[in-house]
Each structure stands twice: as C-alpha cells, then as structure tokens.
Amino acid sequence: MTDDVRIETEGKAARIRLNRPKAIHALNTPMCLAMADALAEWRADTAIEAVLIDHAEGRGFCAGGDIRMVQESGKGDGAAAREFFREEYRMNHMLFTYAKPVVAFMDGITMGGGVGISLPAKYRVATENTKLAMPETGIGLFPDVGGGWYLSRLDGRMGEYLALTGARIDGAECLALGLATHYLPSETLEEAKRRIADDPQTIEAVLGELSVEAPPAKILEHRETIDRLFASDRLEDIYVALEEHGSEWANAQLTTLRTKSPQTMKVALKLLADGRTMPTFEDEMRQEFAVAAHVCQRHDFIEGVRAVLIDKDNAPKWNPATPEAVSAHMIDQIFAPLPDDEAWTPHR
C-alpha cells in the first residue's frame, strides 16, 4: 500500500481518496496498484454498496500520471513506464467494468489520468472548480486512459477538438457534453458524500437533490464551427480548414495546434477513428497500451516532457516538425500490436 492514496470505508461506501497534494494527486504505479487491490477486495464484500473517488486535501482532483518518471524510464529501457501504463490501464478497466456504482467527484483539475479514473464512473460530479482536459499532445503523448473510447463518443467532432488542442473545459461544459452527469456547488460535496455513505441506494436522489443549474456552456457556442473545421481525420485537412476559415477563433486554434506534436496529433486522430468502432473497452485498452509502449520511448515524448515539465522553456523541437512529415508508416509503427507475451491484459 502507499500513503499517496487513502483507502477507507465509511458506512456502506468504500472510499478512494487521492492523497498526493504536492503533485496535484498525479497517479503513480503504487497508487494504481493500491486502487486496483481495493476494488478487487470490495467487489466481493456485500457490506460495500458503492465506491466514492475524490481527493483528500489540497487543490485539484487529479492532474494526470507520473509523467516525469515515465519520461526518465523512456530514455532508458522503458520497463518502468510500461509497468505504470499496464497497471493504470488495468485499474481503469476495473472501474469501467465495476458492478457496484462508482461516484467520482471531479472537483478541481481533472486531466489525463484524472479523466481515466472519473469517466468510467456511473456518476461523475462536476463543480464550479472543475477544469478538465486531455493535454497530452502538448508533451508528445496522446489522450490515453480510454481517451480513444470516450472522446470518440462525444457528439460531432468535439472529441477530436479536445484531443488535438488539449482545451480546458469547465464543469458546466463537462455537463453539457455528457462528460459529467451532475453539477454540484463544491460546498455541498461533503454532504453528498456523507448521505451516499449512509445509504448508497439513494445516490441518484442525493445527487439530483443537491444539483444546481449549471452556467451556460461556452464551448457550445463553437459547436457547429468545431464540427465543420475538425471534420477530417487528416491533420493536414484540419490545418487547411482553420486557415481558410480565418476567424479569430480559428486562428487561435491554429496557433495552439502549431505548439503540439504533429506526430501525436496524428496518433490522436487515428486513436479516435479506431475508438469509434472498438468492440469493447478491453480492446481499447489493449491498443492504447501498445501505442503507449511505443510512444514513451520516442523523441517527441522525451522532448515534450523536457520542454514543458522539466526545463519549462515551452519550446519543444518536434521531430518530425510538420504534419506533412509524419508518414503513414510512422503511425503504423506506433500502432503495431505487441507480441502476445508483452500485450496488455486486464485483471482476472
């Protein structure tokens, strides 16, 4: 077990409380293992009727994964990086397939790995503090932890827009897009947790009663434009559409895209195109693990983490530097399935 996550029970509910405040509760391998062990134990415990996931202290719900460790491993043999992704995705899959209701409280920053532990939940609570994003293309990674599954199932081309730009959306926008199921004022969260723990059979009623009307979702003002300009699965076409549109908003998106890794933007587009027709979430996780195993040792990820998180010069030198230079062969290599003895498998 690890001090970075608190595993507790309260009444008839089990609690997973992320407890790594200095890292905004970013997930590491021991945390993923502890969460999976607890979920496995509670599965057969008839005294536990629901699982609540939140953060114990400090700001933010979960800022992602232990990316610096992954990068350090990727510069070497990549073994620790692959272990992290393997265990994180197993825990994600357990949440996705969990028979008991799971309630995730996305109060604050919910990015990357935080999205991976909240979107599988049956109940996903956003607040006025929620800031959700999948910003991975900015560090040469890709929207993983099921991103290919969840984002591809949003209406229109909203998923492609979020995956490519890494745009941050607030709680009202999460609710409008269906990423959250309820919108509660943060001051009512403790009451919600207490009442749910007392009687998990009333989750629906409690969350409904404490919900308030969310503010207008600003992203919906751009929905038709997003659907039109991000319509293609070819990155080059999206660049052309944005350039030709020429509006202030389109130019801002183009400026954003030019800061991202062309390679991993193409990975993201293929991931969502494949994700739309992926038979099961297990298949999705198997593919994402193969992609992660390849990407974490490639130049763009090593360089992106250096530029954004380590040196913080925010001037990554992507290679290839342009969408046109990212070949179909390169994307095929990244998506190549792993040998059976290395492939991802769920917890049995």
| Catalytic machinery residues | 65, 113, 136, 144
**Whole-angstrom Cα distance, residue 109 to residue 59?**
8
User: Which residues is 111 bridged to in the sheet?
Assistant: 133
**Whole-angstrom Cα distance, residue 31 to residue 20?**
10
> Which residue do the tokens 């990423």 mark?
179
> Which residue do the tokens 């739309």 mark?
276
- DSSP3 helix / strand / coil % (the chain, rounded to 5): 55, 10, 35
Residue-by-residue DSSP string for 183-252: E--GGGHHHHHHHHHH-GGGHHHHHHHH--PPPP-GGGGGHHHHHHHT--SSHHHHHHHHHHH--HHHHH
Distance of CA 28 to the CA centre of its chain: 15
Distance of CA 4 to the CA centre of its chain: 19
Buried b (16+ CB within 10 A) or exposed e, 120-153: bbbbbbbbbbbbbbbbbbbbbbbbbbbbbbbbbe
User: Which residues is 7 bridged to in the sheet?
Assistant: 16
